[in-house]
Amino acid sequence: MKRFNEFLATCVVLQYFCHVCTTHLLINVKNQGGDILLETISSNVTEDLITLEFQRSDGTLVTQLIDFKNEVQVIKALVLGEEERGQNQYQVMCFVNHFYKVDFISSDAMSKLRQKNPGTVRVAEEDRGHVNYTMDLFLDVSQSKEISKHVATLCAEAAGSTYTRNDDIKQWIQRPGSSEELLMAAVYNFTIMPQSGTNDTRSLLVSKCADTSNLWAPCTCSLELCVGWYPCGLKFCKGKSDGKKIASTYRCGIKTCKKCFIFSYYSKIKQNCLWDE
């Protein structure tokens, strides 16, 4: 009996660690240009979290984090500088938006996926096109816990370039237990700094970076980020019917999608947005 109890305890411990551990998939994805990109998709069931990451052919590192508990999507872009044009360092931007759970398979379902042929080059079954996001608010990363505790960790390097929208704040306010006061305290509008000796602070209206030739002028930058392959849903098949009972349905695979995000956001200088020309 003692040995049985020890065995049972061991099983419980192993089951616990299997449940909390993060599972990873490595996916070879062909983009529109024909390049093969390696995506890493991680699922954490305990945190109800999925993270997808890949590096574009131009060197840009893209990280997509889905926080199912809080209905939050964070897309982080680390863009390498163009040394020949005076950009000696990389820059990091984070875009934080409300997320609908039906747009991705659950973290639990994701954790159960296995690859039969890891070397296969994948192409998404459905192209969900382009979605435009006009980011009209700065997000204070240090005050972002009310939105999601994961923002501060992922966007630590983007403390001055993390963005969200009024529309997203309105969605998060409706979450059970959310504090409107704390949510509003975490964001602020784009404003012009007041002139010396005045209190003239106005909303910042700037032209598109593509429409200005002044490299040191503020402007609205546009950045396109495409996720070439991700599991966007489950597939269900019907079992055989014996004529007496209605055929039951069972899960028989996943549906895969591609989606592009176009983020428009405030840039302090056009020099930080040279690709948008």
The 10s digit of each residue's pLDDT in 219-277 is 999 999 999 999 998 888 877 766 666 777 777 788 999 999 999 999 999 999 989 87
Residue 151 domain flag: yes
Our count of domains for the chain comes to 1
Residue 1 domain flag: no
Instruction: Please report which confidence band the pLDDT of residue 45 belongs to, taking 50, 70 and 90 as the band edges.
Output: very high
Which amino acid, one-letter code, is at 31? N
Residue 263 domain flag: yes
Q: What is the pLDDT of residue 244?
A: 65
Question: How buried is 31 (Cβ within 10 angstroms: 0-12 exposed, 13-18 middle, 19+ buried)?
Answer: middle
DSSP state of 52: E
Residue 8 domain flag: no
What are 25-38's pLDDT values in tens digits?
A: 899 998 878 889 99
Residue 120 domain flag: yes
Residue 11 domain flag: no
Contacts of 235 (CB under 8 A, 6+ apart): 251, 252, 253, 254, 255
Instruction: Please report which confidence band the pLDDT of residue 187 belongs to, taking 50, 70 and 90 as the band edges.
Output: very high
The rounded distance, in Å, linking the Cα atoms of 76 and 90 is: 13
Q: What is the pLDDT of residue 250?
A: 78
Residue 7 domain flag: no
* Radius of gyration in angstroms for the set of CA atoms belonging to the chain, rounded to a whole number: 23
How far from the centroid of its chain's Cα atoms is residue 268's Cα?
A: 23
Domain that holds residue 66: 23-272
Instruction: Please report which confidence band the pLDDT of residue 1 belongs to, taking 50, 70 and 90 as the band edges.
Output: very low
Residue 2 domain flag: no
End-to-end CA distance of the chain: 74
Contacts of 121 (CB under 8 A, 6+ apart): 28, 29, 30, 36
Within 13 Å of residue 169, how many CA atoms lie on the same side as its CB? 21
For the chain, give the mean pLDDT: 84
Q: What global pTM score does this model have?
A: 0.83
